[in-house]
Amino acid sequence: MALNPGSPPGVGPYYENHGYQNESPYPPRPAVVPSAYAVYPAQYYPPTVPQYAPRVLTHASTPVIHVQPKSPSGTLCTSRTRRVLCITVALGALLAGALAAAFLLWRFMEDKCSVSGMECGSSGTCISPSHWCDGVLHCPGGEDENRCVRLYGPNFILQVYSAQRKSWHPVCRDDWSESYGRAACQDMGYRNSFYSSQGIADDSGATSFMKLNISAGNVDLYKKLYHSDVCSSKTVVSLRCIECGVSQKMSRQSRIVGGTGAALGDWPWQVSLHVQGIHVCGGSIITPEWIVTAAHCVEEPLNHPRYWSAFAGVLRQSFMFYGNGYRVEKVISHPNYDSQTKNNDIALMKLQTPLTLSDEVGPVCLPNPGMTLEPAQACWISGWGATHEKGKTSDMLNAAVVRLLEPWQCNSKHVYNGLVTPAMICAGYLQGDVDSCQGDSGGPLVTLKSSIWWLIGDTSWGSGCAKPNRPGVYGNVTVFTDWIYRQMRVNS
């Protein structure tokens, strides 16, 4: 996560992110180190990954194609027995080819929207997830605007989008039941996850509500909802799809650079992401199946899920050598991620099997729209990154308390001189001393609000570690919440 301290103002960041290595997990390296982006051999020597040195395009050498000479006609199939054998083999090959083609066609039809995102049920056409709930009907039947739900503010107020009025409205508690809450959670991407549904006073200042028409019969939840300026119960639905943001640690301060170690249960959402047994990046649990990390962690060639495994509920890297971790099924980078500026530096990982939640392993809450943060809000970072600049990554999980810095401070000519975009958030101290460092990339920046821990950033970049006027820069998760939910819906 370190930016080359020699970079002049206005020049894009240069990052380092060294993986953790124990005393001797691999035999000595050969004299000539192969390209970091070569196909991984059986004995893999992990490079410094991801690598962000300036890339120079090179001309690939022309591959040598060895052409086998054709057999003379009739050489193999001269006798009658051989002719029968040749025909049999040929028919078998044709049948195998037909079966393979049928399988590929079936897979294509089954996953035809895996790239585009969402299939319109009425027509079978695919639309981009960015077109969901944007107030414009892209599907002929309007399916893309039918199930638009979100949670608002620190009290998780359920809101439904009205395509007619092009605005969000809270759901009145009148005649609400838990079954509706479960349906809404599924539509947000929380597969088989539901925590609580209750009525609370509305604090969003709404003057119009979405209300249930209980006489509508056995129809879809969203077809039961109608606009109303009156809510008899004077309460709106507060919906929790998952118990998140719960930690055994509430106030004890500890640090990464210049700090102390964490205890089990302090940061239960923290995961260590490994490539072939080596810690590469951190991440944050948001559901038993989904992890938030940084897009720069999964740049090519590490964008394939087969390279990755996740460890949760373990404090020491040395203890992770004895386990296999959780295998990753999907890696999804933000489509607008810029590898040069690190804008939109966020990615998701879906696990092959869900995590088993406990006091030591649990999700952090995604920030809801409508939440307010103080200009110097206290936040915490955690990870196995180096405890000093250019040092080795830590065996022990560490954490640090930092404070948010306003964008104008971070973008001043004495700090990052305009490099910080709205998709980034700064945290740390202008005097230095406390910061994330290389190896912390992708890990959480969290804050405590309303007795709940919220994920507001993922560790992205910085200039060195804990230097004056060089605070840490994080992906601004508050602007990515909708994108995260869309990916969870599409890939659930």
- The secondary element (H helix, E strand) that includes residue 187 is helix 178-187
pLDDT confidence of residue 5: 40
What is the pTM (predicted TM-score) of this model?
A: 0.75
Ordered DSSP codes for 393-415: BPSB-EEEEEEEE-HHHHTSTTT
pLDDT confidence of residue 249: 66
Residue 52 burial (10 A CB sphere; 0-12, 13-18, 19+): buried
Q: How many CB atoms lie within 10 A of CB 300?
A: 9
pLDDT confidence of residue 164: 77
Residues in the chain predicted with pLDDT less than 50, given as ranges, are 1-77, 107-112, 114-116, 251-258
**CA 109, chain centre distance (Å):** 27
Ordered DSSP codes for 230-296: --TT--EEEEESS--S--S-SS----STT--B--TTSSTTEEEEEETTEEEEEEEESSSSEEEE-GG
Q: How many CB atoms lie within 10 A of CB 376?
A: 12
Dig out the tokens for 115 from the structure: 């790239």
pLDDT in tens, 254-265: 334 445 678 889
Residue 246 burial (10 A CB sphere; 0-12, 13-18, 19+): middle
In terms of DSSP bridges, do strands 326-333 and 308-312 run parallel, antiparallel, or are they unpaired?
antiparallel
Q: What is the three-class DSSP state of 474?
A: strand
Residue from 169, 296, 309, 382 carrying the catalytic annotation: 296
CA–CA separation, 391 and 389 (whole Å)? 5
> Nearest to residue 411, comparing CAs of 394, 396, 430?
430
pLDDT confidence of residue 48: 31
Residue from 144, 174, 266, 345 carrying the catalytic annotation: 345
- The secondary element (H helix, E strand) that includes residue 107 is helix 80-110
Give me the domains of the chain, ranges plus CATH numbers.
135-240 (3.10.250.10), 270-367+374-490 (2.40.10.10)
Q: What is the three-class DSSP state of 148?
A: coil
CA–CA separation, 235 and 151 (whole Å)? 15
> Nearest to residue 475, comparing CAs of 314, 271, 296?
296
187 is catalytic: no
Count of alpha carbons within 13 Å of 219, Cβ hemisphere only?
A: 10
296 is catalytic: yes
pLDDT in tens, 285-329: 999 999 999 999 999 999 999 999 999 999 999 998 877 799 999
- In sequence order, the β-bridge partners of residue 326 are 310
pLDDT confidence of residue 52: 29
Residue from 247, 441, 460, 463 carrying the catalytic annotation: 441
Q: Which DSSP state fits 301?
A: T
The angle formed by the CA atoms of residues 475, 480 and 483, to the nearest 5 degrees, is 140
